[in-house]
Amino acid sequence: MAVFALVFLSVFAYAAAVNSNCPAHLPKTDNLREFRTSCYEFILDHPGDWHHAEADCRSRGGHLVDIHDYAEEAFLFNTCQQLGFHNDKGLWIGLTDGDAYKGEGNWHWVSNADISFVNWADGQPGMLGGSEDCVLMEFADNGKWHDYPCSGFLFFTQNHGWICEYPITK
Ligand SMILES: [Ca+2]
Ligand SMILES: [Ca+2]
């Protein structure tokens, strides 16, 4: 019986999202997680284009996620898997070489953080660089990064989920 209780409590503790130091105005759902000095909001179920995604994060005082090392990348990938996001879709991250930032080939985090780590897939950023200015973590490719058009055009939509990042408030 004691073992049962221990297992139950362990599972419960594992399932409860760690987010007590996240900004108070953010909804405390399972999709809100803290890791080191940041809080991350996983927006998985109402896809939009990259500009919409960044505007959404900004509206709550954050920005699209910036990723600075393998540990942060692994945390994001593993959390998405825990949350059941395991198909071939990607999620927008805050890396861009769009004209509104620094322009073609000058990759830049929307948070203005320095680039200290990249996780491009083989052959990325791609050949169509001028039209592909925004980056998805692609789950069919172990979370590796692929550049894509930031918005859809005609019949080609570019609506995906995204991850917002905020400073913790501790
Ligand atoms: Ca970050
Ligand atoms: Ca580009």
CATH, residue 139 = 3.10.100.10
Is 2 within the bounds of a domain?
A: no
Would you say residue 23 lies in a domain?
Answer: no
Q: Which residues surround ligand 2, an ion (CB under 5 A)?
A: 97, 129, 133
- Residue 146: nearest ligand to its CA? 2
Q: Is residue 126 part of a domain?
A: yes
Cα of 87 vs centre of ligand 1, distance in Å, is: 23
* Ligand 1 center to 14 CA (angstroms): 23
- Please tell me the pTM assigned to this model: 0.88
Report yes or no on 92 lying in a domain.
yes
- 27 within domain boundaries: no
118 Cα: distance to centroid of ligand 1 (angstroms): 12
Residue 16, in any domain of the structure:
no
pLDDT digits (tens, 9 = 90+) for 37-78: 999 999 998 999 999 999 999 999 999 999 999 999 999 999
Model confidence at 15, pLDDT cuts 50, 70, 90, reads low
Question: How many whole angstroms from 123 Cα to the centroid of ligand 2?
Answer: 13
Backbone angles phi, psi at 63, to 5 degrees: -155, 165
Residue 3 has pLDDT above 60, yes or no: no
Residue 72 counted as domain residue: yes
Cα–Cα distance measured from residue 57 to residue 132, given in angstroms and rounded to the nearest whole number: 21
How many domains does one find in the chain? 1
pLDDT band at 128 (very low <50, low <70, confident <90, very high): confident
- The alpha carbon of 106 and the centre of ligand 1 are apart by a number of angstroms equal to 19
Burial of 147 (0-12, 13-18, 19+ CB in 10 A): buried
The domain containing residue 147 runs over which residues?
32-167
Counting ligands in written order, the one closest to the CA of 105 is 2
Asked whether residue 99 is assigned to any structural domain, the reply reads: yes
Tokens of 73: 């990348």
pLDDT of residue 83: 93
What lies within 8 Å, CB to CB, of 14 at 6+ separation is none
Three-state secondary structure call for residue 5:
helix
